[in-house]
Amino acid sequence: MRMKCGRVHDHPCITIIYHDAWTAGTEDGVELWDPGPHGKALYFGPQTRRMPLEISGKYLAVTVHFNAGTATMLGFPNNTDILNRIVDIDVLFNRDTPLAQIVPREKAYKDWVKALEDGFLRPLVEAAGWQKPDPLAILFEQQCLADPQVSVEEFAEGQNVSKRTIERIVKQAFGVTPKQALRRARALDMGAALLGVTRPEDSAEIELRYFDQSHRVKEIRAFFGMSPSELKNGANPFLRLSLEVRQHRRLEALHRLKPDEPGPWRDPDKEPPKDRPRG
């Protein structure tokens, strides 16, 4: 069985894949990533549009998301250079032991996270001197999540800095201009609403961000490569998951959800056990 889907993330992420091969439509063309018998760790750069994916059969994926501006401080590529691209983490860091092999798949999920944190991420953080992203990048990320209707000029004025300063910091932390980041945030919220992974009371406000239906259709096509109805009615499991993760971050930023609390669109009775291992 071959599954066609896609994903879109506004910030970089690590995705470790197991079992069968993935095919991805990247900035450099169509790429085939075969995890082999032990899995493969991939680094996905920020995305300015939906990345088409095909998976040929069985799959298991473990994903770690980075916040704005953090990945480059840990030795990952400049965000502007990695837009819509994928790189092999083992090659990037010249690793002797493949990163995918340190995940104890026979154990509980929390052990997977701990293994990646202790065996890979924490050493990078320590080597970087425990740096933190620029506070303005963090504030701009909060703005994108809470209210992406603001103009770049309004945001800069609110922080008492120049527009040029915001443009420089955001381009470095996001890989795109502030205007592009805000536009993308609006589109990702609209996509999440169409896929039913927003709070019902937020959907109307999200739709009102667009002038009219034709404007909304144009933006959805630009970011997702399909019409709103195609997005809403199609099978988009990976895309739905990536947008759901972002909506969770959005509700956390708005203090409407705790970090370990499932989104209100989730059915608690259908949630998998947190400690159930998978092969």
The string of DSSP letters for 2-65 reads EEEEEE--SS-EEEEEEES-EEEEETTEEEEE--TTT-EEEEE---SSPEEEEEES-EEEEEEE
Domain assignment present for residue 274? The answer is no
Q: Are residues 111 and 202 in the same domain?
A: no
Residue type, 36: G
Domain assignment present for residue 271? The answer is no
Half-sphere CA count of 114, side-chain side, radius 13 A: 7
Domain assignment present for residue 279? The answer is no
Q: Are residues 34 and 100 in the same domain?
A: yes
Q: Are residues 169 and 242 in the same domain?
A: yes
Which of residues 110, 127, 144 is at a domain's end? 127
Residue 200 has pLDDT above 60, yes or no: yes
Q: Are residues 167 and 112 in the same domain?
A: no
The residues, ordered by sequence, that sit 6+ positions from 95 with a Cβ below 8 Å of its Cβ are: 89
Closest listed residue to residue 13, CA positions, set 63, 50, 75? 63
Q: Are residues 122 and 214 in the same domain?
A: no
Q: What is the structure's pLDDT at 264?
A: 62
Domain assignment present for residue 66? The answer is yes
Q: Are residues 163 and 106 in the same domain?
A: no
Q: Are residues 110 and 231 in the same domain?
A: no
**Helix (H, G, I), strand (E, B), or coil: what is residue 219?**
helix
Residue 279 has pLDDT above 90, yes or no: no
Domain assignment present for residue 275? The answer is no
Domain assignment present for residue 253? The answer is yes
Which helix (H) or strand (E) segment is 155 a member of? helix 152-159
Q: Are residues 46 and 119 in the same domain?
A: yes
Q: Are residues 198 and 250 in the same domain?
A: yes
CA distances to 42, 184, 190 from 88, in Å = 5, 26, 31
| Domain enclosing residue 252, as ranges | 135-266
Which of residues 127, 150, 170 is at a domain's end? 127
Residue 267 has pLDDT above 80, yes or no: no
Q: Are residues 157 and 244 in the same domain?
A: yes
Closest listed residue to residue 41, CA positions, set 14, 20, 70, 59? 14
Q: What is the structure's pLDDT at 255?
A: 73
Number of domains in the chain: 2
Average pLDDT value over all residues in the chain: 90
Rounded Cα gap, residues 251 and 198, in angstroms = 9
pLDDT digits (tens, 9 = 90+) for 78-100: 999 999 999 999 999 999 999 99
User: What's 246's domain CATH number?
Assistant: 1.10.10.60
Domain assignment present for residue 218? The answer is yes
pLDDT digits (tens, 9 = 90+) for 88-131: 999 999 999 999 999 999 999 899 999 999 999 999 999 999 99
Which of residues 127, 161, 187 is at a domain's end? 127
Q: Are residues 107 and 208 in the same domain?
A: no
DSSP state letter for 150: S
Q: What is the structure's pLDDT at 199?
A: 85
Q: What is the structure's pLDDT at 266?
A: 55
pLDDT digits (tens, 9 = 90+) for 140-195: 999 999 999 999 999 999 999 999 999 999 999 999 999 999 999 999 999 999 99
Question: Looking at the chain, how many residues does it have?
Answer: 279
